[in-house]
């Protein structure tokens, strides 16, 4: 069975299952399929060639359970059309009681790395965001298993819902984002061999979501760079430019 057949069957199963779950439990199911020209994670170039990254999530009462995968499409990592990373995410998001416009999220991410020599690990995270101009946010990720490291990201963004309208239910928007990361000595020792806390990475993004009813197609462009000289010296590709084509929908 070739990879296109596998992906098609997977989406058919998800679609059928989604209709059943929604009818019985009133749970929202979202599916996203991303094609990316590179896989960049917190500034690190994990894959310098094309990847496929699907996401399936279920949410209700502020809780969201998600599955995310990264599939090598070119064989750069010697596993063409195979997943080399799987993430299982449980998140709870809500508004801080008594403080309108201040939201929080807490959750956990379990990382697995099939077809590689990397060991699985788990992170806990917590973050806040403000409903204000540029939507500032800060999120802290703390590994409780393999690395024991901490990574902190502060981010801002701006969204224009409609920059072009094609019909009543089809229009194009603009999403701009910027994030900066800092990592502690345990994180940097594990990934870079640097026994010190350092500024980690800076990332810029621009996306153009095209909404068509319950479905959205979003082409986007991203640029990231490692910040500190020590981290740059420890990474093979410290500056990266890549593109992502995303298709998402709610079932």
What are 177-204's pLDDT values in tens digits?
999 999 999 999 999 999 999 999 999 9
**Helix, coil or strand: residue 9:** helix
Which one, of 224, 219, 220, 221, lies nearest residue 240 by Cα? 224
Question: What span, in angstroms and rounded, lies between the C-alpha atoms of 239 and 224?
Answer: 6
Give the mean pLDDT of 221-242. Answer: 97
pTM across the whole model: 0.88
Containing 26, the helix (H) or strand (E) segment is none
pLDDT of residue 25: 58
Per-residue pLDDT band at 14 (split at 50, 70, 90) = very low
CA dihedral 181, 186, 191, 192 (to 10 degrees): 90
Query: Alpha-carbon Rg of the chain, whole angstroms?
Result: 19
Q: Average pLDDT, whole number, for the chain?
A: 91
> Percentage of the chain surpassing pLDDT 70?
90
Q: Which residues contact 8 (CB under 8 A, 6 or more apart)?
A: none
Domains of the chain: 3-250 (2.40.160.40)
Per-residue pLDDT band at 5 (split at 50, 70, 90) = very low
Q: Is the pLDDT of residue 240 over 80?
A: yes
Q: Is the pLDDT of residue 3 over 70?
A: no
What are 64-110's pLDDT values in tens digits?
999 999 999 998 778 889 999 999 999 999 999 999 999 999 999 99
């Amino acid at each position: 069975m070739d990879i296109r057949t596998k992906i098609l069957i997977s989406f058919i199963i998800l679609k059928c299952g989604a209709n059943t779950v929604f009818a019985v439990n009133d749970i929202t199911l979202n599916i996203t399929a991303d094609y990316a020209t590179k896989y960049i994670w917190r500034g690190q170039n994990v894959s310098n060639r094309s990847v496929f990254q699907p996401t399936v999530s279920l949410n209700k009462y502020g809780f969201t359970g998600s599955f995310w995968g990264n599939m090598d499409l070119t064989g750069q990592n010697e596993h063409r059309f195979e997943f080399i990373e799987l993430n299982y995410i449980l998140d709870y998001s809500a508004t801080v009681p008594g403080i309108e416009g201040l939201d929080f999220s807490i959750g956990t991410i379990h990382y697995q790395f099939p077809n590689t020599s990397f060991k699985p690990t788990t992170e806990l995270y917590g973050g806040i965001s403000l409903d204000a101009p540029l939507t500032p946010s800060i999120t802290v990720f703390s590994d409780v298993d393999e690395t024991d490291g901490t990574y902190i990201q502060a981010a801002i963004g701006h969204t224009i819902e409609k920059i072009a309208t094609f019909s009543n239910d089809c229009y194009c928007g603009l999403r701009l984002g910027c994030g900066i990361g800092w990592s502690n000595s345990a994180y940097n020792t594990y990934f870079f061999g640097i026994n010190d806390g350092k500024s980690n990475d800076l990332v810029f993004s621009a996306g153009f979501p095209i909404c068509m009813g319950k479905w959205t197609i979003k082409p986007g462009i991203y640029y990231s760079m490692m910040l500190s000289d020590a981290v740059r010296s420890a990474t093979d590709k410290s500056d990266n430019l890549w593109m992502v084509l995303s298709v998402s929908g709610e079932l």
